[in-house]
Amino acid sequence: MISVLKDRGFPKRKGPLVLVIMDGVGFGKYKEGDAVAAARTETLDELLTSCPQTKLKAHGTAVGLPSDEDMGNSEVGHNAIGAGRVFSQGAKLVGLSIKTGSLFEGAVWKKLCAQVKPQSGGQGKTLHFIGLMSDGNVHSNIEHLKAMVVQAKAEGVARVRIHGLLDGRDVGETSALEYFEPFEAFLKNLSQGTAGFDARIASGGGRMVITMDRYNANWEMVHKGWETHVLGRGRQFASSSEAITQLRAETKAIDQDLPPFVIAENGEPVGPILDGDSVILFNFRGDRALEITEAFSAGDEFNRFNRERTPRIEYAGMMEYDGDLHIPRQYLVTPPNIDRTLGEYLAAAGRRQFAISETQKFGHVTYFFNGNRLGKFNEALETYEEIKSDVVPFEERPWMKCAEITDRVIEVIRRGDYDFIRLNYPNGDMVGHTGIYQAVICSLEALDLCLGRLKKAVREAGGVMIITADHGNSDDMFEHDKTGAVKYKKDGRPQAKTSHSLNPVPCIIYDPGYAGEYEETLKEGLGISSLTATCLEFLGLVPPEDYDSSVIRWKENVRRD
């Protein structure tokens, strides 16, 4: 049972608290490639120089990832901001479950293997793995896949097929062969000298083209994935490395945008998914796993696209991707149980909340912010609003829907119906992932214009605005070597970096009604989970004792309990 928090004696401002999450906007380590610093951002620059501000950690252990070499991402970032504490996240939990062997001792793993083992009646049946083939540690880790293939062989599974999605987003933009070629060799070595064991890559394609859509933005991506992985339909190649090399030469596309391909012998696909098979989606992150899971798991009522053939299989996800709806029904590793989130506390305290973003990040300010929970805590007190994203390449509309989001937030601020408003501007992240520097500059300048409009509305309403981010991205757009020098392509252009950065993110307090209640110098060395307690304090509430510290240094004359 959630207890209503006590008033803390802080003279709450007349207007709302507005939390602005500038997705993918951090403080760059290098001058070259820092699009945030290079963009003309008059409002952001003015806020940084005139308001209390600090830098927050948004990667690695500060957001529950295995090490500080792991980049943050939007999922764990919004989990941390919403929860106020750090929970061990997917990559860490899966890695530990493999290290201890608990994954392989679980009933679901045993069930899926038994389904296809010859001695269990599964002669000729296949264990399939679908997922992102990289070590980005954002959606998946190829080392997890390797461990599962090795264990499957050890347990007597005779036939394994991999349906590998190309990354180029959480890792280098054209790094796919660095993962696929060694993995092909790994499977070949594993198969050689072992009579009856056959493990191969069966299909693939770019993650932004097939399979990994999210938030119901583009179901055609999932349809293409179904045709490729399940039906074995598509352009055929002898190997994944051949497919990647040839498609890259023909399209000039980076990995995430490469077309789908099917591996075939004598014109026949080597690994379509058939009745009696088992399928594991080895991605551990939920947002881009839910739709393909629905395609496999939904019954006859499925109407997103024509599946043509729906194999009777055993299906499992690496983790439970939705804890409310319990999707999927079977999973290998139990996800973190994120409880007592900011949204839940505010609902218990009777505070009215409004959450908004466009489609690309709508689930982040709702589902992930609420601890991987789809529903609302109190229908009467909460409003969630999605602005539909354009279904076009982000570099063609780098301003995205930031103006429309701003229009709506300003309307809500002026109406005065909500105590707490949270919004996500996706520009710095989604356009940052394209690697197109000019488009990123444009996206950030559009965002800055919107910040200026919000600032005026907050001031007029007598509210407070906290400007922050969930992780870095657009602050680090070029690849650098170990010395810090920019890497260049053969044509003399900088090598684009499409992944997130390890850089800190801003925490800016815009408080027009400031009357000296707290020090203008904010605490340093904290992570983005400290934003939660900060928000509660500005709403006049006392954060729970186990929440990470607020960034605010309150003066002695302000009662704190």
Predicted local confidence at residue 121, as pLDDT: 54
The answer to whether the 17-88+338-538 and 91-333 domains have the same CATH topology is no
Give the pLDDT confidence of 298-312 residue by residue, as tens digits: 988 899 999 999 999
Predicted local confidence at residue 326, as pLDDT: 81
Whether the CB-CB separation of 362 and 386 falls below 8 Å is answered with: yes
Predicted local confidence at residue 44, as pLDDT: 98
User: What pTM, to 2 d.p., does this model score?
Assistant: 0.78
The domain covering 91-333 belongs, at the CATH homologous superfamily level, to BPG-independent phosphoglycerate mutase, domain B (3.40.1450.10)
Look at phi and psi of residue 196 and say left if phi exceeds 0, alpha if psi is from -120 to 50, else beta: left
Predicted local confidence at residue 324, as pLDDT: 62
Catalytic residue among 50, 74, 191, 239: 74
Give the pLDDT confidence of 208-266 residue by residue, as tens digits: 999 999 878 899 999 999 999 999 999 999 999 999 999 999 999 999 999 999 999 99
- 47: closest CA among 420, 402, 467? 467
Whether the CB-CB separation of 377 and 370 falls below 8 Å is answered with: yes
For 242, phi then psi, to 5°, come to -65, -45
Which amino acid makes up residue 454?
L
Torsion angle, alpha carbons of 315, 71, 212, 214, to 10:
100
Predicted local confidence at residue 334, as pLDDT: 86
Buried (b) or exposed (e) across 398-409, using 16+ Cβ within 10 A?
A: bbbbbeebbebb
Greatest Cα-to-Cα distance within the chain, rounded to the nearest angstrom: 81
- What is the rounded average pLDDT for all residues in the chain? 93
| H or E stretch at 422 | strand 420-425
Q: 74 catalytic, yes or no?
A: yes
Which amino acid makes up residue 465?
M
Predicted local confidence at residue 1, as pLDDT: 44
End-to-end Cα distance, the chain = 21
> Can you list the positions of beta strands (E) in 250-362?
261-265, 268-269, 278-281, 314-319, 331-333, 353-358
In the predicted model, residues of the chain with pLDDT beneath 70 are: 1-11, 119-124, 323-324, 557-561
Report domain extents, the chain. 17-88+338-538, 91-333
Other CB atoms within 10 A of residue 153 CB? 17
Question: Token match 């105590």: residue?
Answer: 419
| H or E stretch at 162 | strand 159-166
Which amino acid makes up residue 61?
T
Query: What residues have CB less than 8 Å from 147, skipping those under 6 apart?
Result: 98
Predicted local confidence at residue 124, as pLDDT: 65
For 464, phi then psi, to 5°, come to -130, 140
DSSP code at position 61: G
Which amino acid makes up residue 161?
R
- 168: closest CA among 491, 477, 429, 434? 434
Query: What residues have CB less than 8 Å from 40, skipping those under 6 apart?
Result: 445, 448
DSSP code at position 24: B
Second-level CATH architecture of 17-88+338-538: 3-Layer(aba) Sandwich (3.40)
Whether the CB-CB separation of 85 and 548 falls below 8 Å is answered with: yes
Whether the CB-CB separation of 324 and 375 falls below 8 Å is answered with: yes
